[in-house]
Each structure stands twice: as structure tokens, then as C-alpha cells.
Chains A and B, each alone.
Chain A
């Protein structure tokens, strides 16, 4: 392990949460709303809803990214690498295409959630055929299943009428405004629960990053751990996708930022990554809804535009050290 890597304390992050949220609450297309009027309160309520959604979705994606990178022992792994995104995308597109979204408010998120989880289950069992799932088996079956589902999604997009197509494309780009209040509460509880369990399993995840064999000799029940952690990561990713569509880049870069902040210890990483992910998404969303106000740009565009250069800078700074350290 790289012991001389500089680490920073966690408290500035925790301090940043209320500050960033307050900033995001005060900024917006409508300017500073008047708390006295019902309309002003409604505007603040909308912003608060987006901020909370940003925190939950950012935490979910970043947490899932940490787990995927640890399990697959690959710095390029992210929550969507095993097909959760294409599965969820297909589910959401089907919900729009068949008009379920008109019937019920929860139809799109529920369809996305269920198909995301089903996809990962299929990927896992394809990879695990004849024993435990290997990393390469998982990646390979993930890529194949992903490719098939993305093209089914494209089929639906090409068959859908203009309005449906528009909805699907915007959903794919991600949007924090979509979710309803009870949905956000449910999603928040799922994300929080999964993160707590991951933190408890942190020591065993640390062992797994040394390789399956080593982890086994350290007394970790590797098969069970891999399956369990995959399930948690899928739950995190599918919940995030159900809440806000396919927001890219967060699950890829935030785990790296978190590792740069506190080091590669998985007893701290999920929580720190969750906080950084939440902050990052709230900031990106504030940019997305203010920069060309009263127009809005998709948040996925902002996360990639902000995240890309950040990721590059991080890579350049840390090129000397290996990923696992």
C-alpha cells in the first residue's frame, strides 16, 4: 500500500454539504424567491426536492462505482458497466412506448428499476454458469447483454412517435426533476441502507481488492461477498437510475476523487464517495438549471463537461502511483 499518499480529513466535506445545499437553494432561474408568498415557497420546495434528489442519486451512483471498481479491480469500472443502464433504459423506454407512463406516475421509475435489476441478475448467472462468477466472465457477459439491450432500446426509439422519442432521449440524458416525493423517500432509504451495509463490509471489500485468492486466504467467503456486493451495487445504481435517468460520469470519477481524498480503505470509501457524489451532482444540477435560465440543459451534459477535465487532472496528478496503491 502507498502509505505516503497525502490524505485529507473528512470534516471539510461534511461542512461543504450544508453550504453547497444553501447555495443551490438560493440560486435558480426565478432568482431569490419570496418566502412570504405560496408561489415563492413552491419554488423553494422545487429546488429543495432537486437538491435532495441530487444528494440521493449522487450518493447512489458514487457508492455503486466504488463497489464496481473494487469488485472488478478495474479503475474504469462504473455502475453501468455490467448493463444496469441499458437494462433500465430499455425498461423506461418500454414504459414510455407502451404508454404506461400516462397511467401511473411510478411506471417509468418502476420499470427502470426492475429491468435494471433483472439485467444484472441475468449477467451474473450467465457469468456464473458452472461455478462462481469470474471478473472476466462478468465483464464479458455484461458487455454482451448491454449491447443487445441498447440496440433494443434503439429499436424502440426508432419506432416511437416524436413525443415518446423525445421523452426517452431526455430520460437517457438524466433529469433530477422527474421523481415524485414518496419515490424520493423510498429511494433515499434504499441508498442509505445499502451504503451502511457496504461500510460494514468494508474490511472484506479491502481484502477482495487484493485479489480473490488472497481474499479467500484472508478468510473472506469470496463467492458470497462478490454476489452480495454486486447486489448492493445494483440496488444503488438501479435506484439512482429510477430516480433521475441515466446520469453518466458520477459513478466513474467520484470513486477516484474519494480515493484521492481518504485513501483506498473501503471502510470509509462508500460514505466519503457518497458525500462527494451528492455534492458533485447538486453543483452540476445548479449549473444545469441556472447557466442558460430560464432554459434548462440536461444534467448529464454538465456532469460530463465538468467531470471530464476533472478526471483528466486527477489522472495526470496520480500517474506515478498505481490505482490500487
Chain B
């Protein structure tokens, strides 16, 4: 299920809807893994009364929190059963669900975390909603600082990287995805970084022609990749630079831990 967020990112609306805050105790249901992580990281785990089935981190918290739906898809009965007064989502798969949620008397906030710069903004928004401004401000400041530091480090040479999300069909990450940003921060160049999309199906011959030096596999195995027609000619396959078995929850959730993925990717990019 952790892959769902990738699918979901395609549908993210660019707007932030923040309802007027009240001073009551906030009981929040998060329907996105990145928001669940943010809620826990700003020290508001006591507010969390429901989560999506895709939220796996932090494990010691989520195992005690009931599931109120899938990523971006509320299960209305389960949601009502959590008795929340706020639902936070990155985006809802079905926009009509907003009415259904509000009909239950629950506030709804849509908080984008599509790019790395969205993340500190999302932290501050969640902080306001849950009345944990101080914790959120501290976390957002640290995150923004780390991000700025990483951006200052420019490598001498950049290696060509192919990010494979799925093998069948061949899905990769384009310019508008945070994975593209992560690869750049790690000192690589995404071979699909010229395409102004987030996630899309790339043609095999483009991968061959752009000859990546490193392949980052988010699913599947290196041996299966080498068996594909023509792929043995790719530098990354010839030199064995295929990174697989990565922690999907770390690489695919644009939450507070996402910058740790830069170190993981740097490891992959080592010659």
C-alpha cells in the first residue's frame, strides 16, 4: 500500500484550505503517511485518533491508532467511529468526500506535500491546526535549514540516475516529483528530469538511449532488470550499479524523515 502515495501525488491540488481554528482539544485523523509523520514529529501524537492504512511510521504510535480509511480515501463509518473533529489529507481521491466529511460535522484540511519546500509549510500548517505552533516551528526551521545546507553542496560531477518506481509498466519520476529533488541533492541527475511531470510511464528506449550510470529501484530486483531486452548494454547494469531493497517508507513518504533519504541515495551513487 505504501506505493499509493505516489499515485496520489498525481492528483494533489495546489490549494491549502485551513478552517478557522478553535481552542478545543483537536482530535485529528490523518489520511496521508507524510501528515501522520509530521503530526508525530511535532509532538502532537496525542491528538492522533485515526490514520490511513498506508501510514506505517512511527510504528510504535501507529499500531495503537485505528485505521480510518486508505490513503486519501476515507472509510466514512470507520472515520466517524474515531470521533475526530479534524481530518487532514494531502488530497482526497474523491472530491465529493469533502462534503461527506463535513456533513459528519468534521473539519477537513487539505495540506499539500508534493515538493521538499512544501514540507516545512505543511509542518507549520499542521502545527497551527493542532495548536502545536512551537514544536512545528522548531521542526520546520530545522528541516528548512538542513534542506538549505544540502542545496549548497554541489558535487563536482553528477551521475546519471534512473529512478524506477515500477517495472511493469516502466514508471519513473519526472521534474515535478520530490524524488527528482532528492536525486539532485544526492549529487545525481535524473535522466527523466527534463519531463515536466511527477510520475509517468517512460519508454524503454529512452532509458537505453540516456544510458543511466545508476538505477534506483523502488520495487523489483536487480536480476530481473538485467534480464530485460537490451538492458545489459546500460552502464548501470554493466557496472552493477543497481540500488534495490531500499526502505520504501523512507524514500516514498515526503515527511520529516525524507532528507535522510539523501544519504541513502548518496550511498547508491558512489562509484
- With A46-B229, A167-B169 known as contacts, the answer to whether A295 contacts B202 (CB < 8 A) is yes
Interface locus among A14-22, A27-35, A315-323: A27-35
Among residues of A, the one whose C-beta sits closest to the C-beta of B167 is A167
Cβ of A42 under 8 Å from chain B: yes
CA distance in complex: A297, B200 (Å): 10
Whether B201 contacts A105 by the Cβ 8 Å rule is: no
Interface locus among A121-129, A140-148, A158-166, A267-275: A158-166
Whether A166 contacts B230 by the Cβ 8 Å rule is: no
Cβ of A170 under 8 Å from chain B: yes
| Nearest CB of B to A234, in Å | 26
Q: Which parts of B1-52 form the interface with A (CB within 8 Å)?
A: 1, 3-4, 7
Whether A294 contacts B168 by the Cβ 8 Å rule is: no
Chain B positions within 8 Å of A130 at CB level: none
- With A39-B234, A162-B3, A294-B195 known as contacts, the answer to whether A105 contacts B205 (CB < 8 A) is no
Q: Which parts of B74-109 form the interface with A (CB within 8 Å)?
A: none
| Nearest CB of A to B131, in Å | 34
| Nearest CB of B to A214, in Å | 49
- With A28-B205, A105-B227, A161-B3 known as contacts, the answer to whether A295 contacts B166 (CB < 8 A) is no
Whether B169 contacts A46 by the Cβ 8 Å rule is: no
| Nearest CB of B to A294, in Å | 4
Cβ of A2 under 8 Å from chain B: no
Whether B202 contacts A30 by the Cβ 8 Å rule is: no
Cβ of A43 under 8 Å from chain B: yes
Whether B209 contacts A30 by the Cβ 8 Å rule is: yes
Interface residues on B, range: 20 to 34
CA distance in complex: A106, B94 (Å): 37
Whether B229 contacts A45 by the Cβ 8 Å rule is: yes
Whether B169 contacts A30 by the Cβ 8 Å rule is: no
Q: Which of B1, B202, B209 contacts A296 (CB 8 A)?
A: B202
Whether A43 contacts B205 by the Cβ 8 Å rule is: yes
Chain A positions within 8 Å of B1 at CB level: 161-162
Chain B positions within 8 Å of A161 at CB level: 1, 3
Contact code string B167-187 (vs A, CB < 8 Å = 1, else 0): 011010000000000000000
Chain B positions within 8 Å of A293 at CB level: 203, 206
Whether A166 contacts B7 by the Cβ 8 Å rule is: yes
Contact code string B218-246 (vs A, CB < 8 Å = 1, else 0): 01000010010111111000000000000
Cβ of A49 under 8 Å from chain B: yes
Q: Which parts of A163-221 form the interface with B (CB within 8 Å)?
A: 163, 166-167, 170-171, 175, 177-178, 180-181
Cβ of A289 under 8 Å from chain B: yes
CA distance in complex: A293, B194 (Å): 11
Cβ of B204 under 8 Å from chain A: yes
Cβ of A47 under 8 Å from chain B: yes
Cβ of A38 under 8 Å from chain B: yes
Chain B positions within 8 Å of A43 at CB level: 205, 208-209, 230
Chain A positions within 8 Å of B211 at CB level: 39
| Nearest CB of B to A160, in Å | 11
Q: Which of A41, A102, A162 contacts B7 (CB 8 A)?
A: A162
| Nearest CB of A to B67, in Å | 15
Whether B3 contacts A47 by the Cβ 8 Å rule is: no
Chain A positions within 8 Å of B169 at CB level: 166-167, 170, 175, 296
Among residues of B, the one whose C-beta sits closest to the C-beta of A169 is B169
CA distance in complex: A29, B207 (Å): 10
Whether B203 contacts A289 by the Cβ 8 Å rule is: yes
Cβ of B197 under 8 Å from chain A: yes
Cβ of B259 under 8 Å from chain A: no
Whether A294 contacts B206 by the Cβ 8 Å rule is: yes
Whether A29 contacts B195 by the Cβ 8 Å rule is: no
| Nearest CB of A to B10, in Å | 12
CA distance in complex: A42, B205 (Å): 8
Whether A29 contacts B209 by the Cβ 8 Å rule is: yes
CA distance in complex: A180, B224 (Å): 13
Whether A166 contacts B166 by the Cβ 8 Å rule is: yes
Whether B166 contacts A167 by the Cβ 8 Å rule is: yes
Chain A positions within 8 Å of B3 at CB level: 161-163
Most buried by A among B1, B209, B224, B227: B209
Whether B201 contacts A295 by the Cβ 8 Å rule is: yes
Among residues of B, the one whose C-beta sits closest to the C-beta of A42 is B230
| Known pairs A43-B209, A47-B205, A295-B201 / 13 extra A-B pairs, C-beta < 8 Å | A29-B205, A29-B209, A33-B209, A39-B234, A102-B224, A162-B1, A166-B166, A166-B169, A170-B168, A170-B201, A289-B205, A294-B192, A295-B200
Residues of B within 8 A of A (CB): 1, 3-4, 7, 166, 168-169, 171, 192, 195, 197, 200-206, 208-209, 211, 219, 224, 227, 229-234
